[in-house]
Structure 1
Amino acid sequence: MAAVILRPEKELRVKEGHPWVFKDNIARYQDVIGAGEIVNVLDSEGEFIGKGYINPISSITVRILSWDGDEKIDQDFFLRKISSANDGRRRIIEARKSLGMGEEEAYRVVYAEADGLPGLVVDRYGDYLVIQILTLGMEIRRDMILKALIDIFNPKGIFEKSNPKSRLPEGLKPVVGVLYGEVPELITIRQDDMTLLVDPWKGQKTGFFLDQRENRRALRKFINPGDRVLDCFCYTGAFSMMAAKRGAEVLGVDLAERAIELCYRNAKLNEVEDRCSFEVDDAFDKLYDMDRSGERFDVIILDPPAFAKSQDAVRAALRGYREINTRAMRLIKEGGILATSSCTQHVGEGTFLNMLAVSARKAGRHLQFLDIRSQPWDHPIAPNCSETRYLKFVICRLL
């Protein structure tokens, strides 16, 4: 069978369970035919470590799918892996239901490396699935993935949103469209006491940010009726709807006109139009202008996009995080709440917390960390793949 043999000084990380084999980890190739094929990964002594798909033009040359030398990467493999991932989520959902916490109709079914399926993301929105295929190895196995999803879920429709820039190093173009059945322009989901719109066709990611679901629930208990809440980078307003349902007066800000349009539609669906307003604006500029005009809020929510897409961008990203958090802290009333987030894997939790402490000093405020959180149970973290841990969410009190 085709194989790659690792350099002795580069093999330990892979032996310890990291599923990525970089180009400079490889000493030599053995009988490799073409991109996308399954190859064995061998150590420098020729001993089996794992097997995965290869893409010679990618810096991540092999992504490991199995650590079992006898396992076949075929239709049954995808059926087993996706079923196992979904069963794990359903176990948690059923436990939550037994505690009276209700059904969870929107959740991540497959989270790439964390579920042993690097290059594949599957999100479930009720009767619909939205998938992202991020690598060549998964691209050429799309039919296997599709069949497995249909067999497991029998969905009304499956939508592919494979448009991240991460496809470019794999030699892949964007793919966006319906793979199976029919998928409406907007999908409606229920989450707690909210009705929310998912925008698979034109929205970010798969149309909704499932990874902040538990953080919204955590923040809810820090918001009181009558509070004045500012939701920056609000996207389609899930945090805003939560706050408005709590009886708060909410202002949401986002640069995307489409997102703000859906904020207003969500507010109408949830019958909170009288407590919500939304503006198309740059959050940095808006915070600066409101500080100059003397505006103050009980709660500010910051959920910016990833400021660092690579390790090289971390320094600039931290400047951005410091600036946005410092500006927000200046606007928060004494004893008020800042809920602030970072969704880049390149900024660790310790670095993020230190940045917040520095921002508080710059703002002339004292800071208390009330709740330090991460991503939810449907975005599990693989202990041997630190890249699967990316989300930081911190609830702070400003004094």
Structure 2
Amino acid sequence: MTPKGAARLLAHHPWVYRSDVLEGPDSPGLYPVQSNRGVLGMALYNPASEITVRVFSFQDTERPLEVLLEHLRKALTRRKPAIAQEPGGAYRLVHAEGDLLPALVLDYYAGHGVLQVGSAALEPLTEALVEVIRAEIPLHSLLAKNDQKSRSLEGLPLHVRALLGQVPDFVMVQEGSVRYRVDLTQGQKTGAFIDQRDNRIRLGSFAGKKALDVFSYHGSFALHLARGFEQVIAVDSSAAALQRALQNATINGINNISTREANAFEFLREEEKRGSLYDLIVLDPPAFAKGKRDVERAYAAYKEINLRAMKLLPSGGILATASCSHHLSEPLFYQMLAEAAADAHRTVRVLEKRGQGWDHPVLLNVPETHYLKFALLEVM
């Protein structure tokens, strides 16, 4: 390592980029990481990747694979009580760096698992990982959903294949008082957005006449809102996503959700022109900032939609707003909201500062693990 790379590891940030690796093996694998200070840890290593080093242990060991698999066991053990309490629910069982398992994600959907491996050093260990998962968590099936574009940066092929059992096309997941359908092979990410689970359940406690769910995807927020609001409108640019939202509503016996296929920015502007008002608005957009270079543009986009939403809320109205862009830090997120409130000429109170679910742990040393910001705001 260069001194810069060593400094990152000494601060217990697990990533070292290619430019800070002075020397290493020619092939991916589990290796000790060294600087002039000695061995700094054990890492997943891939000389072809921009993130060349991903440390999973900051101790020197002669048994790196055993340490890695023990991290996996511990991560699964931490989630077992939740699965026992609600086996029909959805949970993240492994959250990559947050569980000291870089480039590894494992999600649980009502007894079915979806695994994503994002490192060339980890890929040959899939069988060993599966054995630990089988021993710790009862699963009807396990799917390798390795279709994420980031795998190409590791020189890995894209594929989706069964690792255990018969993988169904979809499963039904229980989330609080509602159920929704998850497509394991075709859905986004591993099938659904589990990180917002606790925030969706929280919104189920609100009530009123009219609510709006913008960037609704399959209507997960709308389903919870429909229990307490007379009318809920789900807005998304995808007709297929909105069709799934209506199917989910039917599954739950809900008939007060309507949909609008529209660009969110244009829809909010048009609603402002009409003088429309809502008692509660949810904004759950995709990541506007994919990289550092996108932050300025993303900041403006987040501000635009939040400003428009604030203008559609009366006194006492609630705005539930999120950002999943880790490059937009929490201080920047709340700065953006303050500027939006000022430009909308609204006094806005913060009711709750929330974030990703407990099963998506955050490491203080790794700011990238804190990506989801979620604010509950009240217009005064």
For the superposition of Structure 1 and Structure 2, which TM-score range results when normalised by the shorter chain?
A: over 0.9
Does residue 367 of structure 1 match 2:348?
A: yes
Does the 8 Å CA contact 1:106/1:123 hold for their aligned counterparts? yes
Does the 8 Å CA contact 1:219/1:395 hold for their aligned counterparts? no
State which of 197, 212, 220 in structure 2 corresponds to 1:230: 212
Instruction: Report what 2:331 is aligned to.
Output: 350
Does residue 44 of structure 1 match 2:36?
A: yes
SS at match of 2:128: helix
- TM-aligned CA deviation for residue 201 of structure 1: 1.8
Would the alpha carbon gap of residues 244 and 9 (structure 1) be closer, same or farther in structure 2, given more than 3 Å must change? closer
Alignment: residue pair count: 380
Does residue 315 of structure 1 match 2:296?
A: yes
- TM-aligned CA deviation for residue 294 of structure 1: 2.1
Does residue 202 of structure 1 match 2:186?
A: yes
Does the 8 Å CA contact 1:240/1:252 hold for their aligned counterparts? yes
Instruction: Report what 1:57 is aligned to.
Output: 48
Instruction: Report what 1:20 is aligned to.
Output: 15
One-letter amino acid matched to 2:316: G
Does the 8 Å CA contact 1:111/1:379 hold for their aligned counterparts? yes
Does the 8 Å CA contact 2:29/2:122 hold for their aligned counterparts? no
Does the 8 Å CA contact 1:109/1:124 hold for their aligned counterparts? yes
- TM-aligned CA deviation for residue 91 of structure 1: 4.4
Would the alpha carbon gap of residues 196 and 112 (structure 1) be closer, same or farther in structure 2, given more than 3 Å must change? same
- TM-aligned CA deviation for residue 304 of structure 1: 0.2
One-letter amino acid matched to 2:221: F
Does the 8 Å CA contact 2:83/2:89 hold for their aligned counterparts? no
Instruction: Report what 2:250 is aligned to.
Output: 268
Would the alpha carbon gap of residues 379 and 13 (structure 1) be closer, same or farther in structure 2, given more than 3 Å must change? same
Distance in 2, matches of 1:218 and 1:71, equals 46
Instruction: Report what 1:110 is aligned to.
Output: 94
SS at match of 2:164: strand
Instruction: Report what 2:282 is aligned to.
Output: 301
> Any idea what the Cα deviations from partners look like across 1:215-252, whole Å, max 9, x if unmatched?
1233333x21x420000011111111101122441100
Distance in 1, matches of 2:87 and 2:163, equals 27
One-letter amino acid matched to 1:43: S
> Any idea what the Cα deviations from partners look like across 1:73-106, whole Å, max 9, x if unmatched?
33x5454222210211234677xx5xxxx66731
One-letter amino acid matched to 1:59: E
Does the 8 Å CA contact 1:109/1:123 hold for their aligned counterparts? yes
Does the 8 Å CA contact 2:44/2:119 hold for their aligned counterparts? no
Distance in 1, matches of 2:95 and 2:311, equals 37
SS at match of 1:137: coil
Runs (5+) with no aligned partner, structure 1: 1-5
Does residue 165 of structure 1 match 2:155?
A: no
SS at match of 1:297: coil
Does the 8 Å CA contact 1:189/1:198 hold for their aligned counterparts? yes
SS at match of 2:317: strand
- Out of 137-146 and 281-290, give the one that drifted further: 137-146
SS at match of 1:305: coil
> Any idea what the Cα deviations from partners look like across 1:172-220, whole Å, max 9, x if unmatched?
2322232321122211011111111112222111111111111123333
One-letter amino acid matched to 2:120: L
Distance in 1, matches of 2:297 and 2:210, equals 31
State which of 154, 164, 170 in structure 2 corresponds to 1:186: 170
Identity %: 35
Does the 8 Å CA contact 2:210/2:280 hold for their aligned counterparts? yes
Would the alpha carbon gap of residues 127 and 10 (structure 1) be closer, same or farther in structure 2, given more than 3 Å must change? closer
Distance in 2, matches of 1:310 and 1:260, equals 29
Distance in 2, matches of 1:260 and 1:71, equals 52
TM-score where L is the length of structure 1: 0.90
Distance in 2, matches of 1:383 and 1:358, equals 27
One-letter amino acid matched to 1:183: V
SS at match of 2:179: strand
Distance in 2, matches of 1:58 and 1:287, equals 41
TM-score where L is the length of structure 2: 0.95
Distance in 1, matches of 2:200 and 2:273, equals 29
SS at match of 1:245: coil
Does residue 134 of structure 1 match 2:96?
A: no
> Any idea what the Cα deviations from partners look like across 1:98-142, whole Å, max 9, x if unmatched?
xxxx66731100000111110100001121001111221222222
Distance in 2, matches of 1:80 and 1:38, equals 15
